[in-house]
Amino acid sequence: MWENALSFFDFDDTNVIYVSLGTIILGAGAAVVGSFTFFRKKALIGDAIAHAILPGVCLAFILSGTKNYFLLISGAFFTGWLSIIAVDYIVKKSKIKEDTAIGLILSVFFGVGIMLLTYIQQSGNAAQTGLDSFLFGKAASMLAQDVIVFSAISIILVFMILLFYKELKLITYDKDFAQSIGLPVKWIEFLLSSLTVLAVVTGIQAVGVVLMAALLITPTAAAKYWSGSLSVILILAAIIGGFSGVSGAFISYIAPNMPTGPWVVMVLSLFAIFSILFAPKKGYFSRLLQQLKNRKQIQDENILKAFHQIAEAEDNFGEAKSLEKLREKRYYTTRLMKRILLRLKRQGYLRRTKEGFFLSDYGQRKAARLVKLHRLWELYLTEYLRIAPDHVHEDADTIEHIITPELEKRLEEKLGYPEVDPHNSKIPYD
């Protein structure tokens, strides 16, 4: 097996080069076209097309008796398109919703396809070997001429997407507006559907019918975690699609009994899972980190506020405050409390002497601001939202942490720099 792996990278076998290049191009092409079906929220139509292609291929073979590319692709294109039209027609003319229509069409076409395939296999026509690779994809055993034909189609697809990028983007984002400026929306939609059918026809070489939808959708689903710009997402999706394609081909080359398609999809799914978990900003862990940060901020600010409140009650701002008194205001465990205090000291809000912790000048200002925000918000809730004074404290306790300086200023102006809050506590200003 490892000898196989090494010989893959030697590229001694010219077929290896073809297959590698071919799967990269096929994967990338399908991913780029798939991006638009994804953002048009028609991700599943790819699945319908993929299944609908099988009867077309079989019919073309039965009628011609040979494995002529042009005929097979034409047959595939024909029934693929037929499935789109059928889904649209059902949605438009009946009460059946799109997901159901796709399910119906997909199974009918696929059923007919399997019937025809079985018929062909039993007919004893020697040329039929290899037709069933349509079901699961067998990129690793593609021949040079297969690769050239399908790669050429993929390159044309990507070229067409680039050529009509502006228009495709507009009809995907805002179809009504596109139509209002006189764009030939129907024509561009027809073009995109045709490109999708062709992408499916070529992509099937890599992953087969059943897994084709993944090749269209998954690269974009992963890529959109990394960028908010359509052009960047398209490039990332192409890279992910291409890389997954060649990885699948590689694995089924080193272990010839392994089917290509499932491995391509495995690699794609790894990309998607990795993106969902680890992407910056939108990823799961990044969000988790943000929540942790928020929690720390709330804890820190609550303790600063407690310092201020105690000082206010004792009318003594300079002195150290004991842990017990702080815990009366905010019941955190002693361990947590100590951690927060040390953190605040590190950040320069607190200072520490033998007697304990006390607010630094900077901390003093920050604490006063927090108390002010809390009390301003309470006042805003009672005055503008007419909420009873005894209900406003909990609301203000969360809101005070997220009020920005701009909102603070507007709040002050709106309320006219009031002296006291609804509970008659003094509002501290700088």
Partner 1 sequence: MIKQVENPIIEIHDLSVAYERKPVLWDVDLSLPEGQLIGIIGPNGAGKSTLLKAIMGLLPLNSGYIQINGKPLEEMRHKISYVPQRESVDWDFPTSVYEVVMMGRYGQLGLFNRPKKADAEIVMDSLRKVGMDEFKNRQISQLSGGQQQRVFLARALAQQADIYFMDEPFAGVDAATEKAIIKLLGEMSAQNKTVIVVHHDLQSVAKYFDWIILLNMRLVASGPINEAFTPELLQETYGGKLTLLTEISDLIQKHRFPNRE
Q: By the criterion CB under 8 A, which residues form the site for partner 1?
A: 39, 41, 163-164, 166-167, 169-170, 172-174, 176-183, 224, 227-230, 233
Comparing CB distances to partner 1, the nearer of 117 and 237 is 237
Q: Rounded to the nearest 5°, which phi and psi values hold at 209?
A: -60, -50
Comparing CB distances to partner 1, the nearer of 155 and 185 is 185
Distance of closest approach, residue 172 Cβ to partner 1, in angstroms: 7
Pairing verdict, β 356-359 and 350-353: antiparallel
221-246 b/e (C-beta count within 10 Å ≥ 16 → b): bbbbbbeeebeebbbbbbbbbbbbbb
Element spanning 358, H or E: strand 356-359
Please state, in angstroms and rounded to a whole number, the distance separating the CA atoms of residues 45 and 49.
Answer: 6
Element spanning 357, H or E: strand 356-359
Q: Which token pair is 412?
A: 């002050």
97-121 b/e (C-beta count within 10 Å ≥ 16 → b): eeeebbeebbeebbebbbebbeebe
Comparing CB distances to partner 1, the nearer of 131 and 233 is 233
Distance of closest approach, residue 230 Cβ to partner 1, in angstroms: 5
Comparing CB distances to partner 1, the nearer of 176 and 413 is 176
Please state, in angstroms and rounded to a whole number, the distance separating the CA atoms of residues 58 and 259.
Answer: 21
What separation, in Å, do the N-terminal and C-terminal C-alpha atoms of the chain show? 74
Comparing CB distances to partner 1, the nearer of 177 and 429 is 177
Distance of closest approach, residue 265 Cβ to partner 1, in angstroms: 24
Q: Assess contact for 134 and 54: CB atoms under 8 A.
A: yes
Distance of closest approach, residue 406 Cβ to partner 1, in angstroms: 13
Q: Assess contact for 20 and 249: CB atoms under 8 A.
A: yes
Please state, in angstroms and rounded to a whole number, the distance separating the CA atoms of residues 86 and 119.
Answer: 25
Please state, in angstroms and rounded to a whole number, the distance separating the CA atoms of residues 335 and 345.
Answer: 15
Distance of closest approach, residue 31 Cβ to partner 1, in angstroms: 15
Comparing CB distances to partner 1, the nearer of 236 and 310 is 236
How many beta carbons lie within 10 A of that of residue 425, not counting itself? Answer: 14
Element spanning 263, H or E: helix 260-278
Comparing CB distances to partner 1, the nearer of 176 and 394 is 176
Half-sphere exposure of 124 (CA within 13 A, CB side): 0
Bridge partners, 359 (sequence order) = 350
Residue type (1 letter), 54: L
- Torsion, Cα 316 319 325 326, to 10 degrees, reads 100
Distance of closest approach, residue 243 Cβ to partner 1, in angstroms: 21
Distance of closest approach, residue 403 Cβ to partner 1, in angstroms: 16
Comparing CB distances to partner 1, the nearer of 92 and 354 is 92
Bridge partners, 357 (sequence order) = 321, 352
Distance of closest approach, residue 179 Cβ to partner 1, in angstroms: 6
Comparing CB distances to partner 1, the nearer of 319 and 408 is 408
Comparing CB distances to partner 1, the nearer of 91 and 148 is 91
Distance of closest approach, residue 166 Cβ to partner 1, in angstroms: 6
Distance of closest approach, residue 413 Cβ to partner 1, in angstroms: 13
